Amino acid sequence: MKKLQKTNLNDLNQELKNGKYMLFFTADWCPDCRFIKPAMPAIEAEYSEYTFLMVDRDENIDLAGEMGIMGIPSFVAYSDGEEIGRFNNGDRKTKAEVENFINSLSSTVAK
């Protein structure tokens, strides 16, 4: 999974203009983030139509604030520069919950 470098919302929107992206907001100190991290390679492989980007919430604290990311781990999905969904709270997330979230996006956007 590619790590998103420190950025701002304008630059991020430019990067996400074409294609499908899944932002994974996380932090090294976060126990709930560490809980889901081992499942991320399998999730990423299963949903290869998305480019997964890991966003260090602490490194991108201003971006997280601009995007309303108040809890981690959180996921935000984009298709051709438009946000199509988010799984944004501070609760521990299971692989099945993340997969259910991504599956729910297929009704918002054609694959």
pLDDT tens digit sequence for 67-97: 999 899 999 999 999 999 999 877 889 999 9
Of 56, 54, 50, 63, the C-alpha closest to 111 is 50
Residue 103 confidence (pLDDT) above 80: yes
User: Using one digit for the tens of pLDDT, what is the confidence trace for 4-48?
Assistant: 999 999 999 999 999 999 999 999 999 999 999 999 999 999 999
In 8-111, which residue ranges form alpha helices assigned H by DSSP? 9-15, 31-36, 40-46, 61-67, 95-105
Superfamily of domain 2-105: Glutaredoxin (3.40.30.10)
Closest alpha carbon to 85 in 100, 65, 63: 100
Q: pTM, whole model, 2 decimals?
A: 0.91
User: Catalytic site residues?
Assistant: 30, 33
Residue extents of the structural domains in the chain? 2-105
